[in-house]
Amino acid sequence: MELGKIISFLLVSAIVIGVPGPNVVLIVATTLASGKRRGLQTIVGTTLAMIIQLATAALGTAMFLAALSQGLI
């Protein structure tokens, strides 16, 4: 692999890692606008939403793999 491609990859990776996601932006904006208590409530809400999303994805994946192993798909 060429050195230029490796450097480009590392630069893009660093930018993607360094940019905060939408949850972080929401938490910071809510905290600055409404205070520490609302910010903590936003953290709890976004965390619960991520847990529900992860559980749903895991359940769906498990059901898909179970159906696949039985030859239903």
What was the pLDDT predicted at 72?
Answer: 77
Virtual torsion, Cα 11, 16, 18, 22, nearest 10 deg: 170
Distance CA 29, CA 18 (A): 18
The full set of domain ranges for the chain reads 21-73
Check residue 19 and report its DSSP letter.
Answer: S
What was the pLDDT predicted at 71?
Answer: 86
What was the pLDDT predicted at 57?
Answer: 98
What was the pLDDT predicted at 50?
Answer: 96
pTM of the model: 0.70
| Per-residue confidence in pLDDT tens, the chain, 73 aa | 799 999 999 999 999 898 889 999 999 999 999 999 999 999 999 999 999 999 999 999 999 999 999 987 6
